[in-house]
């Protein structure tokens, strides 16, 4: 089986779309007046609940990506479940490479999580703040299992953003 055949088969599986976010540690963690590190974000469709007791979720990140490196360094991160009106956010954070995430967050409304200080996207269908419990290297990805510290369901309108056959979609 080729990578293209596998990719084509998996593209027939509809997935929800989330934005995983975290904040890099301060350049000088011993100095409380030092500025915080940069916010980092990554669009993900490989995200799922693992356990209700304790509350655990899993996200798959490309090994060696900026998010993988960051979550190996520190264990606090957040997830925003994107709505159908947030396709532009998903597309923006799906870009490969290590461009400055500061520019990616520039015009996106967000608040900071109380437990993680990570960005939580305004208008998301749900938000979760997590602490990494386990990292499992599997193929060319790292499976990051996180304990959910907070979960919120804001009063956002609209349906979920979905991903099917290589494109963002909405239900209906």
State the burial class of residue 31 (Cβ atoms within 10 Å of its Cβ: 0-12, 13-18, 19+): exposed
Res 100 pLDDT > 70: no
Question: E strands within the chain?
Answer: 15-16, 18-23, 39-44, 47-51, 56-62, 76-81, 110-112, 119-121, 126-138, 141-152, 161-164, 167-170
**CATH classification of the domain holding 54:** 2.30.110.10
pTM of this structure: 0.91
Mean pLDDT for 101-124 is 90
Domain count, the chain: 1
Q: Domain limits at 135?
A: 3-26+35-165
pLDDT digits (tens, 9 = 90+) for 11-69: 888 899 999 999 988 777 677 777 778 899 999 999 999 999 999 999 999 999 989 99
Per-residue pLDDT, 96: 63
Report yes or no on 15 lying in a domain: yes
If one counts every other C-beta atom within 10 angstroms of the C-beta of residue 28, the result is 10
Per-residue pLDDT, 87: 95
Report yes or no on 170 lying in a domain: no
């Amino acid at each position: 089986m080729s990578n293209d055949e596998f990719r084509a088969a998996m593209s027939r599986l509809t997935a929800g779309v989330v934005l995983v976010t975290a904040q890099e540690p301060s350049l000088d963690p011993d100095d409380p007046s030092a500025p915080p590190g940069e916010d980092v974000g990554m669009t993900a469709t490989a995200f799922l609940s693992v356990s209700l007791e304790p509350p655990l979720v899993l996200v798959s990140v490309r090994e060696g990506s900026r998010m993988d490196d960051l979550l190996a360094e520190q264990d606090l991160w957040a997830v925003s479940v994107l709505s159908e009106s947030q396709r532009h956010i998903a597309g923006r954070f799906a870009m490969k490479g290590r461009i400055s995430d500061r520019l990616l967050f520039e015009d996106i409304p967000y608040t900071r999580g109380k437990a993680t200080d990570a960005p939580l996207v305004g208008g998301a269908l749900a938000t979760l703040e997590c602490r990494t419990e386990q990292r499992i290297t599997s193929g060319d990805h790292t499976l990051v299992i996180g304990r959910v510290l907070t979960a919120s369901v804001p009063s956002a309108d609209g349906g979920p953003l979905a991903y099917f056959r290589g494109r963002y979609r909405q239900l209906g």
